[in-house]
Structure 1
Amino acid sequence: MPGDVSAGVAERMVARRKERHMSQAQLASVSGVSLGSLRRFEQLHEISLTSLVSIAFALQCENDFESLFANPYYATIEDVEAARKRGE
């Protein structure tokens, strides 16, 4: 469910923040995201994509976005074969 994904992302972000021994206020300052937005994300799992990317950069996790939507969808084996022929 979408809420579960959001909660998981927020939990992993908190873990990265704590690994770096950063308070919420410190991360807010370094990332440029308001403290209120950061707290809302940690508690309610709500945040804008722009703010989430800013937080990821502040935590040096920006490369984690590389895998988002990176895997193609194949409905059939024919789709896989066609992609292979195209060199994907």
Structure 2
Amino acid sequence: MTLTLAPADEILQALGQRLRAQRLAQDLPQSELAAMAGLSLGALRKLENSGQSSLETFVRAVQALGLADELETLFVLKRQSIAQMAQAEAAGQRQRAPRRRQGS
């Protein structure tokens, strides 16, 4: 599933399904992963079934599966060309209005 244009609930559900697939690939029962992650079984089930959870719950499950490295590439700023960096810097600089002359 491509996540680009999907609504938030579909993205969360897809992440829960991916987490379940990783757990099953490692041949772990839900109860064991929940214990390894320090989560309740209900919290893990909810995460896998609907994707509904706190970010902390998600990260704990990811870490327990040994997949924390997969999070490294999330939200990393992409390298820009020198021209793009100069343009962004110029756009961020504020300029003062010209000074008005007094009494002439």
Q: Normalization by structure 1: what TM-score?
A: 0.78
1:35 positional shift: 0.4
Deviates more, 1:58-67 or 1:17-26: 58-67
- Count of matched residue pairs: 80
* Contact 2:30–2:41 under 8 Å retained in 1: yes
* Superposed CA RMSD: 2.2
Look at both structures and tell me which one has the larger radius of gyration over its CA atoms. 2
Other structure's SS at 1:71 match:
coil
Number of the residue aligned with 1:82: 86
Runs of 4+ with >4 A deviation: none
Deviation at 1:66, TM superposition (A): 1.3
Q: Show the counterpart of 1:86.
A: none
Does residue 58 of the first structure (1) align with residue 76 of the second (2)? no
Higher helix share: 1
Question: Which residue of 12, 22, 26 corresponds with 1:16?
Answer: 22
| Contact 2:37/2:60 (8 A) holds in 1 | yes
Identity %: 28
- Counting only pairs closer than 5 Å after superposition, residues 17-36 of structure 1 correspond to structure 2 as 17-36=23-42
Q: Which runs of 5 or more structure 1 residues have no equivalent in the other structure?
A: 84-88
Which shifted more, 37-46 or 11-20? 37-46
| Cα pair distance change 1:44/1:30, threshold 3 Å | same
Deviation at 1:44?
2.1
1:40 aligns with 2:46: yes
- Stretches of structure 2 that go unaligned for 5 or more consecutive residues are 1-6, 88-104
